[in-house]
């Protein structure tokens, strides 16, 4: 089964409206979890046009997420780049 990024979003977290997330159904969910040596330009471009960017960043910080959220890369809720 192919996993999409939408599968990784928290279905019960009701602050952001995940249904309108620009990454929902994106065909390249791995781009939101780059290796340290990889850029995340692709994910950042998608995030830049996302209507819930601010809420996504808040969620990532409060829920101590890792990966690219709201155009930044987080590690356990802290922005690392
Ligand atoms: S800001 Fe980026 S990671 Fe967050 S929901 Fe939107 S597209 Fe997805």
pLDDT tens-digit readout, 42-81: 999 999 999 999 999 999 999 999 999 999 999 999 999 9
The whole-angstrom separation of Cα 33 and Cα 31 is 5
Atom 2 of ligand 1, residue of closest alpha carbon:
47
Given ligand 1 and candidates 21, 49, 54, which is best to mutate, with the most ligand atoms within 8 Å of its CB? 21
User: Average pLDDT for residues 12-31, to the nearest whole number?
Assistant: 83
**Global pTM value:** 0.84
């Amino acid at each position: 089964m192919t996993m999409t990024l939408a599968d990784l979003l928290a279905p019960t977290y009701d602050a952001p409206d995940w249904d309108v997330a620009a990454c929902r159904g994106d065909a390249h969910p791995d781009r939101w979890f780059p290796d340290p040596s990889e850029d995340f330009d692709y994910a950042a471009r998608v995030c830049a046009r996302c209507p819930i960017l601010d809420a996504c960043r808040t969620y990532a910080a409060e829920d101590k997420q890792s990966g690219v959220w709201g155009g930044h890369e987080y590690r356990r809720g802290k922005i690392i780049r």
